A and B are shown apart, each in its own frame.
Chain A
């Protein structure tokens, strides 16, 4: 496990962390205190009930949330961060290529170079032949690939995904998970990936470890390491070790929700 977590590399021992973060919501119970560490090069799943603050935690890691009431958020100094939302979140008026080139162009990279790199990123997700297409001409799975390419084009050290596959059919979802593993394994050093899901099978399959968030406070209550190495070998979903890990994670998720009164937790 230590190898997979990238702890063997010389460098900082975290990609990002939250320490004692408390977030105040107007008219609601505050969230926290939250503690979480993301190791360099690891894939981490955030699992929890709706309303447990999974997305909030992800946006905190990205620096997109307002400054917390107390506590600290840190990322490796100089690290680049990318974010993939639940919806593809593409600019409908721009071509696929322009969408993917956006982060580079915003960073001031010359247009020609940005477009070349964007084309390469699209090629890597299997969309090298759809560069001039408009987002509305793409299927849901293809649009999500574009979104993924846009996140990867900056070669991020930290990639954050907020239920990226929730809206996709199971075949497309599995294919995208394999793509994500392949793209993660190609990079050196490997980026840290944090993703939010409420699908325990997805969490076990995709991640090195899954943390379960408390439905009330949003803090980490349980942590489970997935067995085996990444990327997964062919047919690994039939492996008994995988099935056991899924059941353990499902039980942990159920425990995290047991303290909730019935019919609550409707907000995301």
Chain B
């Protein structure tokens, strides 16, 4: 807790400064509501925000899971054969550099306008795919070359090599990829929901759009705060998992 104290103090100072500035300068509430108004909105709209946050979280989680299975699985397959890697890697990079906003309308058409949530999951998964694919592949290929030689010398089978050498070596890389991908999956879900622009998804991005259209700035900031807390929570959870695994392995 004492590690967090300086940053908590800074946040408190910024919030107090914001509150005082809003009151002293008479800033219109639709332009910048004071933190007290945002806090009130958070409390008043708590049930709605919570269900929206759950919707966004669930979509991001499904996307993360799909990206992990597909990215990790593909990396595993590719790591066994150099030619496959040369074939697949440019496509993975192409997927990574294509802006998700740009392909969103296409995916929305494919998913069907009645299933905007599926499109959101698919798009968020596309964003989260690359760090997982890249992390797993890098990890699988980063075993100590002398240990690889030792496995050669003792006639290890490909499965033995994978389970006893490459996967344990890759684990920290996989967790690092997972941490990056977790944050990206939320970003991807929010962006995709923005683009879908329909209330069908009922996530936090929809709360943002809705409040923005009505110029209810405090509600927007409340939804934004929810997104931030969700991101921080996810980051901390994966970080804790990473730490636990590192302690176990080191």
Contact A106–B154 (Cβ < 8 Å): yes
| Closest beta carbon of chain B to A196's beta carbon, Å | 14
| Closest beta carbon of chain B to A96's beta carbon, Å | 14
With an 8 A cutoff between CB atoms, is A85 at the interface?
Answer: yes
With an 8 A cutoff between CB atoms, is A81 at the interface?
Answer: yes
- For B147, give the chain A residue with the smallest CB separation: A89
What's the Cα separation between A181 and B237 when bound, in Å? 53
The 0/1 profile, CB within 8 Å of B marked 1, for residues 80-110 of chain A is 0111010101011110000000110011000
Contact B144–A64 (Cβ < 8 Å): no
With an 8 A cutoff between CB atoms, is B47 at the interface?
Answer: no
Task: List the A side residues contacting B155 at CB < 8 Å.
Answer: 106-107
What's the Cα separation between A222 and B248 when bound, in Å? 51
Task: List the A side residues contacting B168 at CB < 8 Å.
Answer: 91, 93-94
- For A82, give the chain B residue with the smallest CB separation: B153
Interface majority SS (helix, strand, loop, mixed), chain B: helix
What's the Cα separation between A136 and B156 when bound, in Å? 25
Task: List the A side residues contacting B149 at CB < 8 Å.
Answer: 59, 64, 83, 85
| Closest beta carbon of chain B to A225's beta carbon, Å | 30
Given contacts A91-B168, A102-B164, contact A83 B153 (CB under 8 A): yes
- For A98, give the chain B residue with the smallest CB separation: B164
What's the Cα separation between A5 and B229 when bound, in Å? 73
With an 8 A cutoff between CB atoms, is B249 at the interface?
Answer: yes
Q: List residues 203-250 of chain B with CB under 8 A from any CB of chain A.
A: 248-250
| Closest beta carbon of chain A to B103's beta carbon, Å | 39
Contact of B250 among A62, A82, A83, A92 (CB under 8 A): A92
- For A87, give the chain B residue with the smallest CB separation: B146
With an 8 A cutoff between CB atoms, is A117 at the interface?
Answer: no
With an 8 A cutoff between CB atoms, is A134 at the interface?
Answer: yes
Task: List the B side residues contacting A81 at CB < 8 Å.
Answer: 153
With an 8 A cutoff between CB atoms, is B18 at the interface?
Answer: no
Task: List the A side residues contacting B165 at CB < 8 Å.
Answer: 91
With an 8 A cutoff between CB atoms, is A228 at the interface?
Answer: no
Contact of A106 among B144, B160, B248, B249 (CB under 8 A): B160
Task: List the A side residues contacting B200 at CB < 8 Å.
Answer: none
With an 8 A cutoff between CB atoms, is B152 at the interface?
Answer: yes
Q: List residues 158-199 of chain B with CB under 8 A from any CB of chain A.
A: 160, 164-165, 168, 171
Task: List the B side residues contacting A102 at CB < 8 Å.
Answer: 150, 154, 164
With an 8 A cutoff between CB atoms, is A63 at the interface?
Answer: yes
Contact A106–B250 (Cβ < 8 Å): no
Given contacts A102-B164, A106-B160, A136-B250, contact A89 B154 (CB under 8 A): no
Contact B151–A106 (Cβ < 8 Å): yes
Contact A64–B249 (Cβ < 8 Å): no
Contact A62–B249 (Cβ < 8 Å): no
- For A59, give the chain B residue with the smallest CB separation: B149
Given contacts A91-B168, A106-B160, contact A62 B153 (CB under 8 A): yes
Task: List the B side residues contacting A93 at CB < 8 Å.
Answer: 168, 171, 248-250
What's the Cα separation between A93 and B160 when bound, in Å? 16
| Closest beta carbon of chain A to B45's beta carbon, Å | 47
Contact of B154 among A85, A92, A103, A136 (CB under 8 A): A103
| Closest beta carbon of chain A to B169's beta carbon, Å | 8
The 0/1 profile, CB within 8 Å of B marked 1, for residues 104-141 of chain A is 00110000000000000000000000000010100000
The 0/1 profile, CB within 8 Å of A marked 1, for residues 80-124 of chain B is 000000000000000000000000000000000000000000000
| Closest beta carbon of chain B to A127's beta carbon, Å | 19
| Closest beta carbon of chain B to A140's beta carbon, Å | 16
Contact B154–A107 (Cβ < 8 Å): yes
What's the Cα separation between A94 and B147 when bound, in Å? 13
Contact of B144 among A62, A63, A89, A107 (CB under 8 A): A89
What's the Cα separation between A136 and B154 when bound, in Å? 24
What's the Cα separation between A85 and B154 when bound, in Å? 14
Task: List the B side residues contacting A89 at CB < 8 Å.
Answer: 144, 146-147, 150
| Closest beta carbon of chain B to A51's beta carbon, Å | 19
**B binding-site residues for A, Cβ under 8 Å:** 144, 146-147, 149-156, 160, 164-165, 168, 171, 248-250
**A binding-site residues for B, Cβ under 8 Å:** 59, 62-64, 81-83, 85, 87, 89, 91-94, 102-103, 106-107, 134, 136, 154
User: Given A83-B150, A92-B249, list of 19 further CB < 8 A pairs?
Assistant: A63-B153, A64-B153, A85-B146, A85-B150, A87-B146, A89-B144, A89-B146, A89-B147, A89-B150, A91-B165, A91-B168, A93-B168, A93-B171, A93-B249, A106-B155, A106-B160, A107-B154, A107-B155, A134-B250
Q: 8 closest A-B pairs (Cβ-Cβ)? A: A93-B249, A89-B146, A106-B154, A93-B168, A85-B146, A103-B154, A106-B156, A64-B149
24 contacts between A and B (CB under 8 A): A59-B149, A62-B153, A64-B149, A81-B153, A82-B153, A85-B146, A91-B165, A91-B168, A92-B249, A93-B168, A93-B248, A93-B249, A94-B168, A102-B154, A102-B164, A103-B150, A103-B154, A106-B151, A106-B154, A106-B156, A106-B164, A107-B154, A134-B250, A154-B154
